[in-house]
């Protein structure tokens, strides 16, 4: 990395930036000169492309009209009413206003507009003349008006006014039930004018469509009236089949014009672009280009300054990073936890001092080996917990307890964390394992468990239950709520102990405890107080009915027969229930009152439950 604190490096950087700016200026000047040289050629090419595009669009549009004129007679022959057939055709071709069927005498016999029926249509000006029914349709002169019954054809002497509604009559000979008819469609010219006006701004130019006899059908220039006869323009060839592009003067202004005839239908079009407007647009683009070039130069200079400062800052960060890496290496060496680093191929290539202290292996003995050498059991032994490397490969650390074997063969529990390091592409390059000897921690956890749980059943003992009840009371005093304390005593358990012995009694107590646990939630606390007495705290209940439900489940579960070492045993339980805060707000009171309620349940025949009531105190 370059050190930008040196003067020579700074001068080299400034020289490179200066060369870039001068190159940008030279390239920009050449580009502007080239654009200026080609501005007229590009304008001519533009109008030529637009003429081909517009011609293709109009040809496709009139082809849709031709298809509608062809398909409607087929629909009529199928027996569908004319009104429905015309409605379907108009729906498929949105730029049609109406459809009419004309007999051989020129009278409208059927129309999508009933007002047109009976009107006589003179088709003499529908050019060119058709010689066979298979030819394309003919296009009439523009008509002034909205529909046939309201309109009249234009003439060169009487063209349409600028604000007049205009439509084009389109005619085709069709046969219905072997009888010849003239099928007439009226085309809405405003549809196409609106389409083309969005593509060519009025001050930039205009498009005009005309028949092959040069009768103007419509124009986006309001000064060009439909129905007039257009003159052959200077530079326009008499051969109507070939497109042309040329410069000329139109209405006193220099204009670029393209001529394009339809490939199929009897019409052609002109695209006129004002050369001065085109030049003004080009000049505006040049001003924008110069502004962009200026901004680009300023951006290059600004970016260069930013990069200059950034690289200098990066060099300073690199120095700090080197120091941090040195500290990390010291942490790696002096950490009290064992650390190993393995390659993506699962081979150890670095360990710290604590690794050797815990495992007994020196660095030379494990480098190049698989981390699996630390397992207490072979890799194929599924009973021995091992890391899930597939999880680690997804850039998620694996944390768990595993069994390791020291060099001397001693097996010990280890808390292991494995994470991975990935490169820029997301590919795993290394694994890092950190573990510690969990022997003392497990011993401490075991002692704590024994201090808080009953040695026989594994249930919570009285000390742990009282702690949970006190926490629940504190929560109720702050936020409100309710919980229940249940006192359970096994009925006639002493007889089983006396007749079958304490061994069978202990096994029965373990089975009873297991059944009770299936009836309570994980948030509840089930406790063996001693002998055949149990306490249960039901946390966060809404009403006494919840305690009733739990008591019924417990009585049902406990009363099921037991099969213990060949003995079929039956036993029941009596339950007393006290609620907090209704029956007390301390551990002693609640457990005492639950005990009182339990004795009342026994007095009522056992295998029952009872809620505490103050009258019970006088009865006990």
- Residues with catalytic annotation? 532
Residues 535 and 527: beta-carbon distance below 8 Å: yes
Alpha carbon 125 to chain centroid, angstroms: 61
For 155, how many CA atoms within 13 A lie in the half-sphere containing its CB?
A: 4
The CA-atom distances, in angstroms, between 580 and each of 121, 483, 484, 485 are 101, 5, 6, 8
Strands 96-102 and 609-611: unpaired
Residues 72 and 85: beta-carbon distance below 8 Å: yes
Token pair, residue 388, equals: 């899930």
CA distance 387 to 343: 16
DSSP letter at 564 equals E
DSSP secondary structure letters along 286-329: HHHHHHHHHHHHHHHHHHHHHHHHHHHHHHHHHHHHHHHHHHHH
H or E segment to which residue 563 belongs: strand 562-564
Residues 438 and 450: beta-carbon distance below 8 Å: no
* Backbone angle region of 98, left / alpha / beta, with phi > 0 → left and psi within -120 to 50 → alpha: beta
CA distance 510 to 458: 8
DSSP secondary structure letters along 45-87: HHHHHHHHHHHHHHHHHHHHHHHHHHHHHHHHHTT--HHHHHH
- Residue 516: which of 482, 484, 487 has the closest Cα? 487
Q: Hey, is 139 helix, strand or coil?
A: strand
CA distance 409 to 418: 23
CA distance 350 to 72: 86
For 560, how many CA atoms within 13 A lie in the half-sphere containing its CB?
A: 11
Query: How many C-beta neighbours within 10 Å does residue 458 have?
Result: 13
Q: Which residues of 165-183 are buried (b: 16+ CB within 10 A; e: fewer)?
A: bbbbbbbbbbebeeeebbb
Residues 323 and 36: beta-carbon distance below 8 Å: no
């Amino acid at each position: 990395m370059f050190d930008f604190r040196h003067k020579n490096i700074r001068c080299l950087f400034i020289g490179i930036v200066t060369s870039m700016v001068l190159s940008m200026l030279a390239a920009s000047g050449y580009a502007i000169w080239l654009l200026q040289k080609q501005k007229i050629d590009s304008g001519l090419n533009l109008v030529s492309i637009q003429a081909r595009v517009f011609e293709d669009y109009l040809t496709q549009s009139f082809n849709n009209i031709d298809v509608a004129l062809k398909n409607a007679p087929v629909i009529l022959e199928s027996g569908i009413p004319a009104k429905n057939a015309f409605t379907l055709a108009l729906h498929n071709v949105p730029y049609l206003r109406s459809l009419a069927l004309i007999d051989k005498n020129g009278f409208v016999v059927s129309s999508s507009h009933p007002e047109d029926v009976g009107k006589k249509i003179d088709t003499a000006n529908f050019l060119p003349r058709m010689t066979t029914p298979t030819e394309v349709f003919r296009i009439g002169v523009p008509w002034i008006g909205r529909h046939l019954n309201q309109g009249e054809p234009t003439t060169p002497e009487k063209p349409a006014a600028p604000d007049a509604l205009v439509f084009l009559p389109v005619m085709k000979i069709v046969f219905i039930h072997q009888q010849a008819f003239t099928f007439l469609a009226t085309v809405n010219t405003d549809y196409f004018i609106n389409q083309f006006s969005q593509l060519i701004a009025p001050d930039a130019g205009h498009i005009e469509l005309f028949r092959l006899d040069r009768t103007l059908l419509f124009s986006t220039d309001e000064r060009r009236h439909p129905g007039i006869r257009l003159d052959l323009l200077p530079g326009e060839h008499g051969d109507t089949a070939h497109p042309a592009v040329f410069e000329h003067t139109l209405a006193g202004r220099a204009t670029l014009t393209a001529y394009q005839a339809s490939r199929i239908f009897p019409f052609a079009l002109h695209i006129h672009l004002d050369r001065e407007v085109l030049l003004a647009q080009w000049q505006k683009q040049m001003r924008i280009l110069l502004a962009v070039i200026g901004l680009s130069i300023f951006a290059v200079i600004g970016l260069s300054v930013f990069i200059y400062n950034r690289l200098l800052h990066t060099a300073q960060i690199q120095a700090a990073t080197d120091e941090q890496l040195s500290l990390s290496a010291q942490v790696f060496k002096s950490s009290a936890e064992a650390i190993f680093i393995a390659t993506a191929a699962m081979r150890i290539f670095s360990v710290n001092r604590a690794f050797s202290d815990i495992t007994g292996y020196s660095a030379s003995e494990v480098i190049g080996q698989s981390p699996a050498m630390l397992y207490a059991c072979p890799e194929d032994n599924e009973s021995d917990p091992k890391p899930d490397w597939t999880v680690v490969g997804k850039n998620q650390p694996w944390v768990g307890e595993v069994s390791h074997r020291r060099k001397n063969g001693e097996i010990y529990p280890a808390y292991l964390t494995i994470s991975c390091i990935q490169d820029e592409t997301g590919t795993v390059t290394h694994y890092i394992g950190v573990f510690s000897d969990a022997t003392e921690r497990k011993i401490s956890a075991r002692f704590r468990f024994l201090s808080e749980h009953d040695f026989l059943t594994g249930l919570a003992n009285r000390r742990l239950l009282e702690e949970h009840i006190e926490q629940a009371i504190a929560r109720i005093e702050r936020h409100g709520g309710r919980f229940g304390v249940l006192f359970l005593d096994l009925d006639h358990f002493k007889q089983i102990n006396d007749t079958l012995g304490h061994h069978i009694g202990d096994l029965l107590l373990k089975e009873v405890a297991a059944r009770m646990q299936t009836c309570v939630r994980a948030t509840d606390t089930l406790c063996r107080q001693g002998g055949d007495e149990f306490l249960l705290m039901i946390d966060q209940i809404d009403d006494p009915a919840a305690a009733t439900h739990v008591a019924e489940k417990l009585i049902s579960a406990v009363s099921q027969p037991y099969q213990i070492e060949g003995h079929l045993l039956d036993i029941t339980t009596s339950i007393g229930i006290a609620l907090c805060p209704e029956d007390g707000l301390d551990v002693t009171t609640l457990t005492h009152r639950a005990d009182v309620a339990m004795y009342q349940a026994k007095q009522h025949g056992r295998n029952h439950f009872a809620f505490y009531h103050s009258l019970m105190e006088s009865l006990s």
